[in-house]
Amino acid sequence: MIRHIQFLIIGVLYSVLLVCCTPKVRQTKVYGRYVPERKDDFAWENEYAAFRMYGPALAPENPSNGVDLWLKNSPALVIDTMYGRELRDHRPYHINYDGNLDCYKVAHTAGCGGVVIKADDERLCIGGPYSRQEILEQTPDRFVFRLEYDSVPVAGQILQQSLTITAEAGTLWNKAEVVLTAKSQEPRAKSLFLGGGIFLHDTVDNYRICSKCGLIAYAEDALSDKAAAMMNFEYNGSTSQGRSYIAVRTPEATIQQFIDGTLVSLRPYTLGDTLTYYFGACWSEWCNGDEAFPTDADWFTKLGLTE
């Protein structure tokens, strides 16, 4: 009897020790990957939103270096679900089935936070798809990758661009670090300005600017793209899917204005330097506990852009 009790005690102590010493599995809050099955897309996300950029296999369709936005209504990870739905199940990810959708149209623009270059008095320079991709770091709370662009035409000169993006858990902002270098000693622009931009699909007056902090922000109808609006109407009888929210912050920006359909935040730039700016986005349908942005005013307040 005594021995039985001893074995029982030892068993209980072992179970307690096993539970205490077993490392806890951290919940993955940030995720990203190269997507060769969808023409070399590169996609990533954190709790607030998902994004993607376009690769070399899509080049025949004339994509830009702009950032695409995927909306989601919770912090749950959605990238693999959405690609699986589109590519395996043949159910377009442009439709809101269960709280996530791709309804933002990039075309050949900066999209929602893409790199924008302005040389001298020329129009904005919007580049093409990336040439190479590399994942630098991947943990449950942090994802870092680099995209290389071999041919970026700027003012008669071909530049190379290196873009490193860092996404982290718990923050609205993606960090973008850009380096431009010259491939040859061709004529150079007298002045370069570099930073991030937001293409405005909807009304061009629903944006805010903070000249002191280099911040620009925008809110638009999530279904501003007519094709996406029609697809959602055919599926659920409604063209209303809330509001898309986008923001860009370029520290020490000297140009913050509406140019060529794009709201930009740019600063002077010297070839070879690293310029850092930030971009982020969310949806009026998104909610995480008590945190939500159901109205444009809530979004602008989140960014400190109250009138």
CATH number of the domain enclosing 253:
2.70.98
Residue pLDDT, tens place only, 133-168: 999 999 999 999 999 999 999 988 899 999 999 999
Give me the chain's average pLDDT, please: 91
More confident residue, 78 or 1: 78
Residue 25 lies in a domain: no
pLDDT of residue 12: 44
pLDDT of residue 185: 67
Tokens (6 digits) for 190: 């007298």
Helix (H, G, I), strand (E, B) or coil at 167: strand
Residue 11 lies in a domain: no
Residue 17 lies in a domain: no
Structural domain span for residue 277: 31-302
> Residues 96-105: what's their mean pLDDT?
94
> Residues 104-122: what's their mean pLDDT?
94
Residue 21 lies in a domain: no
Residue 26 lies in a domain: no
Domain count for the chain, please give it.
Answer: 1
Whether 253 shows a pLDDT value over 80: the answer reads: yes
Q: Give the C-alpha distances (Å, rounded to integers) separating 49 from 30, 54, 284, 287.
A: 10, 17, 11, 11
Helix (H, G, I), strand (E, B) or coil at 224: coil
Residue 23 lies in a domain: no
Helix (H, G, I), strand (E, B) or coil at 303: coil
Residue 6 lies in a domain: no
Phi then psi for residue 196, to 5 deg, are: -115, 160
Whether 17 shows a pLDDT value over 60: the answer reads: no
Residue 19 lies in a domain: no
pLDDT of residue 7: 47
